[in-house]
Chains A and B, each alone.
Chain A
Amino acid sequence: MLSLRNLSKRFGGVVAVDRVNLDVAPGEVHALIGPNGAGKTTLVSQISGSLSSDEGRISFQGHDVTKSKPYERVRLGLARSHQITSIFRRFSVLDNLALAVQARSGSSFSFWRPVAAERALFDEARGLAARVGLAEKVEAVASTLAHGEQRALEVGLTLATLPRLVLLDEPMAGMGPEESQRMIALIGRIRAGVTVLLVEHDMDAVFRLADRITVLVNGRVIASGKPEAIRADPQVRRAYLGDVLAA
């Protein structure tokens, strides 16, 4: 579904992502793990198109998207969430989601007809709110939501684009245990319809959700495979998991 070939990104002299090869298969939850500064977010940004790549190729569903604009990738079905919550904070939950639905349903170069009259947009937004557990909060202004709810809203925004693959960049970041459990359940639900590339530090979540895991250290893939194999891999334990599992 998604395949990266020899993908690199340099910032000045620093190689953040170093000739990465990665394949995400349709329907799987593929986790991308690694220590801080390993290049995970950089890699996600290259895939989503918010960062350009210095070398290598990205193909998505048979399209070469290496040079595509971010919005073109979204239209092909590639959507992302951000490590630092990125939502429309001053809009209501419903307006947030309706705006995301609007982005893929018809032209938004429409200057005359009031959006408020477009029932279909808001009906769909309500459905999405329910899907991410925010049915009770549709009228709330996004900035007033609890942290976990804001993260859920962001997942809702990515789902609104009707993606085939979602890139979730640390969806549990900053969450308490209870909120994390809710997010794990949410990802468990959405995976039925969409492939997931999950960047996460929460190993409990990773091992519960992932079908396959890729480990990134210093911009390089040091291992990729089934969770059991990754857990047992001596190199991975030395570079990353040893610390995390011990802690």
Chain B
Amino acid sequence: MKKLVAVAVLVCLFPLAMQAIDQGFYISFATRILIYAMAAASLNLVLGYGGMVSFGHAAFFGAGAYIVGILAVEGITSVWIVWPAAIAVAALAALVIGAISLRTRGVYFIMITLAFAQMTYYIFVSMKAYGGDDGLPLPARSTPGFGVSLSNDFVWYYLVLALLAAVLYLLHRLVHARFGRVIEAIRENETRATAIGYPVYRYKLVCFVISGAIAGLAGALIANQTSYVGPALLHWVQSGTLMVMVILGGVGRFWGGPVGAAVLLSLEELFSGSPLLGPFALHWQLPVGAILLAVVLFAPRGIAGAFAKKPQ
């Protein structure tokens, strides 16, 4: 609890501190971390708690982003329409993809979710009216009304932070409620969960849809963050990045997603931008890869797992 309060104070004061030392860029960078923290947390729900290794989470993340982009092209920018629409479309996509994919298990599930995500990728690439290969620049951030503007990075940071906090609170309730216990039981032993009377398919599907919906919200936020949506958001590499975040942070650890997102993006920033590596900064993946390898080898429960007192 003490740790949580410390982290909360830190993230709340961060933008003020950055502004004080005139490093506004880092506010925007931190917002990106918050958004990816949400996406990674959503993946961790299915992957870590539910044991469903979805290799297609970019589909929901990207779909959420594209809904914001497409509606912006059509002149609809109200937060109150655009974000719920992004969530709803991502949830619907998760329902359809989940309903089919969850009939398979193991490697087949990984492959089929990957295949669906790539299909989604090509659907959006082929929509020439909405940018095709080039993607869509957004004219401005979505508008919340009430005279508030999200174009201020300060306001934007705190809004994203509030949404992330709300999502994490919801997830925290969920994994400790009956539903969460059942999901974990299914991960541990699906045969046994069936044999004590749980319709496991339904639980997995509901879990998958909730996760997809949250990824959709994160997608809507990333579209606003960068004022651009492109097919790269839907690419399988994006799914892989989210998965790396979860593994780095801790599969099935509550803070696994956020910690992984923060660490991975920070490492990326540190090594790619950096005076640290000089001309080698182009190959920033190399040191990041080495660190990832070290975590997997020496802290198989992830960073959040390594710092937790109880084994689970």
Contacts and interface: CB of A to CB of B under 8 A. Distances in A.
Interface of A: 48, 50, 69-71, 74-75, 79-80, 82, 86-91, 95, 99-100, 102-104, 107-116, 118, 157-158, 160-161
A70 B191 CA distance: 10
A114 B176 contact: yes
B194 A99 contact: no
B188 A91 contact: yes
A118 B181 CA distance: 13
Contact of B196 (A95, A112, A113, A161): A161
Given A89-B188, A113-B177, 19 more contacts: A50-B191, A70-B194, A71-B200, A74-B197, A87-B189, A87-B192, A88-B192, A90-B188, A91-B188, A95-B181, A99-B181, A99-B185, A103-B196, A108-B181, A108-B198, A109-B203, A111-B174, A114-B176, A115-B181
Interface string B190-212: 01101111111001001000000
A82 B195 contact: yes
A9 B277 CA distance: 66
B195 A74 contact: yes
Given A80-B195, A103-B197, A111-B173, A90 B312 contact: yes
A161 B197 contact: yes
Contact of B178 (A75, A88, A95, A113): A113
Interface of B is mostly: helix
A114 B177 contact: yes
B189 A99 contact: no
B194 A115 contact: no
28 contacts: A48-B195, A69-B199, A71-B197, A74-B196, A82-B192, A88-B188, A89-B188, A89-B189, A90-B312, A91-B185, A95-B181, A99-B182, A102-B178, A102-B181, A103-B196, A103-B198, A107-B178, A110-B178, A111-B173, A111-B174, A111-B179, A113-B178, A114-B173, A114-B176, A115-B176, A115-B181, A157-B192, A157-B196
A104 B177 CA distance: 16
Which interface residue of B181, B189, B191, B198 has the most chain A CB atoms within 10 A?
A: B181
A110 B196 contact: no
A28 B177 CA distance: 39
A91 B312 CA distance: 9
A228 to B, nearest CB: 34
Nearest to A91: B188
Contacts of B199: 69, 71
Contact of A88 (B176, B185, B203, B312): B185
Contacts of A110: 177-179
Given A99-B182, A110-B179, A112-B173, A104 B197 contact: yes
A236 to B, nearest CB: 31
B298 to A, nearest CB: 21
A109 B206 contact: yes
A86 B192 contact: yes
Nearest to B194: A70
A124 to B, nearest CB: 13
Contacts of B182: 99, 102, 108
B192 A111 contact: no
Given A103-B198, A104-B197, A115 B178 contact: yes
A47 B11 CA distance: 56
B178 to A, nearest CB: 4
Interface in B293-312: 312
